[in-house]
Amino acid sequence: MPTMEHSEEEVEDMYEMIEQLLDYETKGKDYTAVMGDFNAIVGEGKKDGYVGYYGIEYRNDCGQMLEIIAKEENVYR
């Protein structure tokens, strides 16, 4: 994953690639695990079932994009 030193455009491009792969590779009732260092901080407090109770501090832009992908892909909660 691009680090915070990369441009916002590069980071957004990477998240778009992840979304495209999930749309293409995920079929039926298959389970897909997406793992890596996303440089994402999703923050604390349960929100919409996609973020747990035990996050750290605040949400950064990468954390926001990760939550959006989870919602769009209807990730198991």
pLDDT tens digit string along 42-72? 777 666 766 677 777 788 888 888 888 877 7
Domain ranges of the chain: 8-72
Q: Give pLDDT, residue 40.
A: 81
CB 56 within 8 A of CB 41: yes
Q: Which of 7-11, 28-32, 73-77 has the lowest mean pLDDT?
A: 73-77
